[in-house]
Structure 1
Amino acid sequence: MDFLELILTLLGAAVLVYYGGKLVLFSRMLFPQWCFPLSKTFFTSMGEWAVVTGASEGIGRAYAFALAERGMDVVIMSRTKATLEEVAKEIGATTGQRVKVIVADFSEEEAFREIEEEMKHLNVGVLVNNVGVLPSFIPCKFLESEGLDKTITKLINCNVKTLCKMCKIILPGMENRRKGVIINVASGIASFPFPLYTLYAASKIFVERFSQGLQAEYKGRGILIQAVAPFGVSTRMAGFQQTNTVTLLPEEFVQKSLQYLRAGDKIHGSLCHTLLAWLLQSIPLKILHAEFVLQGLQNYVKKKTGQKESVSDL
């Protein structure tokens, strides 16, 4: 009996220490300015230029503005030239920083040769890998995706291949200078196996693991690499949902997420999204994967929008 009591006591102590540690870590999220301070010159000390993919709208556009506001010149990329040029004018007029526009279709191999050529003389201190594609806004089962072969190729090229290629282009310069920041935008829905968005969620898990592996490899070289996994952000990809406590404007989310740049190799970007991640991870998968839950999700999205085409931030 004494032995059983000892085991139970040790088990209770272990649980207390585990959750006590989680509470301490969470408490740091409440005070990012004190727990993860960044100097006013932090970003400009990394290098002269910031590069943002998928910068024509949404989160990418917000990152481009935020980094320009912090004194960096910015390179913005997407496949929509007219929109990019408009964003470039706004950034230049608002911040006074230089803006370089590179039109790129990330599904094409040739795009990366052109990007490398365009940037070979730039001192890049920050890279934001934001470009991505959502196969279909309306959630559906894998085999029900329209044009599945093309969808698979497009998603892997945009969400996976582009991430690797951009790091291959930018990382050598950072390693040589022994400083730099790489922010890779993942997704909160990759927090657990997410049916009906299976392909998209799986690609964002790659973003997380790739980022965490790179950080382990290059942190000793003075390079900070972080995956940012947001939940609700009011963008075209999310159907421009109405903002609330959980669903943030892109500008609001980016400003918050940059405060947690030193908080670890993976963050959710804001306090409310961190809480949501912990809540979802505490719910048994049997409940989250229940047919009535999935059907409810599908009906909810259909009610919110009639969109059925793929949605990308290129």
Structure 2
Amino acid sequence: MAVPFLWKAAVLVEKHRTGLLAVSCAGLFGANLSYHVFPEQTFKLWYQCWTKGQPAELSEKLRSLFHDVLEDVGVKSMNCYQPFAAFGFHPVSAGIPWLPAGSLVGIPANFTSTVEDRQEIVNRVVVINGREVDWESKQGLALKEALLFSPEAQKFAIAREIVYLQSNSPVVYAALPPACLAGTCLSGVAVKQLLGLYSGPRVLRGIYNITIAAVGLVGYFLAYDAVSHALDYRMDRKAATISKDYARGGVEFYNKILSRNRTLRTLLGKQGEKIYAPSGNLFPRYWFRLKHAPYTSRRDLIVNILRVPQA
């Protein structure tokens, strides 16, 4: 029963492939862009930091810092970018500035503390591997030092997210899956016609279709990683070239991330050795994928920018 149904479905797809491809591509694009179109109702709910059962509020100090970064980046419509308190250790962002909902930038709680003011970070409970971190232990002191950023490093990290939104990167990411789907389908049909497989055995066409789907999926993963790496480097370069202070902050930011990851590698034991490399970079989750550019190469990029006299 299942085989005849599959053949009928395949015939139906062949008959209406152009319409189905258009609908699928539009659906993929809309699904990937949905939380950027409505960031307040989706993205913020996911990344919002909570304290005592209530959404955490950003301090006036961080709001002022965020406003300064907007001015340094050269944002004209500042009302299109709104900050909020996010959990985690890195700034996050979503939204499209020129849409009515605007954009959101999540600033992590550890940004409340700085190298000069360390009190806030030690007042927080951090549990790793089921145990609370002792801030006075050797590893606790190393982790605390890695979580404290200077104002310049904080500005660089926030500027990266603003540049990400300003350059319409969410649209680029959303357009990638439908582009790969359309490319795979169209090239698959063209090759099938070229080889004359439409008049060949059904089994052969089925094997060919499965092969094309697998190749297209691998191609999407590789294209996604390549685009992600290119955007990572682009955001770092734009943020670091705002001024020398931002560039120095970028070097500090990535050095602290690498130091934090090395500390987490020790604290997490065997699990940490699977996630973090001895250098502090992340190990690929899958053997052929590396979603983001290595932290060491991103830091080295900024170091090279600092060496240029006119940087």
Q: TM-score, normalised by structure 2?
A: 0.24
Q: Point out which structure has higher relative CO (alpha carbons under 8 A, 6+ apart).
A: 1
Q: When you count strand as a share of all residues, which structure comes out higher? A: 1
Point out the structure with max Rg over C-alpha: 2
